[in-house]
């Protein structure tokens, strides 16, 4: 009813935009310090400056105009995937240009009023500070030997149960004294509450000696069970 048989079709085409979903992030190192031994990795807390623009040079955003750095925990989903990739293996003082294709940036929709749809993003980045993170899966680690009477030390009133407040006070004391380290860049209260919840296995708001286990003990038990 619309196209006759054996019809020759003529299309007038205007290409609005295109990109290849197999494209990856392009990284160009513009400057690298001579001492570049500590490289950024997942879990590290980074402070950096950036200028963000489109391929045609249109400026989108700049931390320099705000007068402060942009701070993230690398690999935690705080920035677009392409930026997480572009900040990997970078040392303090290094400057690089990172080109991010749309599917690793803000996609076909973009950000209304800020980033057009299907935009290729160009970031000029300078890494200013790096605080090493913890091994993957850890939010707190000990800097020395762990006390064999750890639960008794946390249980301040010695009633056989540890409440969130007792747990929080103990972790804070270990961090303040340098005996322990929390994952950098995260809110202290959220980390401690998450750690406490993991130990409170029956969810009653209290941790008993039977519930309390260190992470390496949990891993060993899982391994033994397997």
Rounded to an integer, what distance in angstroms lies between the CA atom of residue 92 and that of residue 94? 6
Q: Say which CATH class 26-131 falls into.
A: alpha beta
Using the predicted structure, report yes or no on whether residue 138 has a pLDDT greater than 90: no
Which residue is associated with the tokens 């060993």? 220
Residue 155: closest CA among 86, 191, 206: 206
Q: Which CATH number is associated with domain 140-222? A: 1.10.238.10
Query: Picking from 42-46, 178-182, 209-213, 221-225, which range would have the lowest pLDDT averaged per residue?
Result: 221-225
The band of 215, judged by pLDDT with boundaries at 50, 70 and 90, is low
Question: Two tokens at 77?
Answer: 């989903």
Q: How much is the pLDDT for 45?
A: 96
Residue 111 β-bridge partners: 115
Rounded to an integer, what distance in angstroms lies between the CA atom of residue 140 and that of residue 137? 9
Q: What is the mean pLDDT of residues 5-16?
A: 92
Which residue is associated with the tokens 């639960």? 151
Question: Two tokens at 86?
Answer: 């572009």
Task: Confirm if 42 and 75 have CB atoms less than 8 A apart.
Answer: yes
Using the predicted structure, report yes or no on whether residue 37 has a pLDDT greater than 60: yes
Three-class SS state of 204: coil
The band of 68, judged by pLDDT with boundaries at 50, 70 and 90, is very high
Q: What is the mean pLDDT of residues 71-98?
A: 96
Q: What is the mean pLDDT of residues 35-52?
A: 96
**Residue-range domain boundaries for the chain:** 26-131, 140-222
Task: Confirm if 207 and 199 have CB atoms less than 8 A apart.
Answer: yes
pTM for the whole structure:
0.77
Question: Two tokens at 153?
Answer: 């030390």
Calculate the dihedral angle through the C-alpha atoms of 222, 224, 225, 226, rounding to the nearest 10 degrees: 90
For 49-66, b/e burial (b = at least 16 CB within 10 A) is bbbbbeeeeeebeebeee
| DSSP 8-state class, residue 105 | T
The band of 211, judged by pLDDT with boundaries at 50, 70 and 90, is confident
CB atoms < 10 A from the CB of 75, how many? Answer: 19
| 88 Cβ neighbours under 8 A, 6+ residues apart | 39, 40, 41, 42, 74
Q: How much is the pLDDT for 216?
A: 63
Rounded to an integer, what distance in angstroms lies between the CA atom of residue 124 and that of residue 87? 11
Backbone angles phi, psi at 70, to 5 degrees: -100, 130
């Amino acid at each position: 009813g619309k196209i006759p048989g054996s019809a020759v079709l003529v299309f007038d085409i205007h290409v609005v935009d295109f990109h290849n979903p197999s494209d990856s992030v392009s990284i160009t190192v513009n400057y690298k310090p001579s001492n570049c031994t500590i490289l950024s990795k997942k879990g590290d807390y980074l402070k950096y400056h950036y200028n963000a623009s489109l391929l045609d040079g249109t400026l989108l955003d700049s931390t320099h105009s705000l007068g402060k750095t942009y701070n993230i925990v690398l690999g935690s989903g705080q920035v677009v995937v392409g930026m997480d990739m572009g900040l990997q293996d970078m040392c303090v003082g290094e400057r690089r240009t990172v080109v991010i294709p749309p599917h690793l940036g803000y996609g076909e929709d973009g950000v209304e009023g800020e980033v057009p749809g299907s935009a290729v993003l160009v970031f000029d980045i300078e890494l200013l500070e790096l605080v090493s993170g913890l091994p993957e899966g850890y939010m707190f680690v000990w800097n020395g030997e762990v006390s064999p009477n750890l639960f008794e030390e946390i249980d301040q009133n010695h009633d056989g149960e540890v409440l969130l407040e007792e747990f929080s006070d103990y972790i804070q004391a270990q961090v303040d004294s340098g005996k322990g380290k929390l994952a950098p860049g995260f809110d202290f209260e959220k980390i401690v509450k998450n750690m406490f919840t993991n130990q409170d296995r029956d969810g009653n708001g209290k941790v008993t000696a039977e519930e309390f286990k260190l992470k390496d003990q949990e891993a060993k038990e899982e391994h033994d069970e397997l």
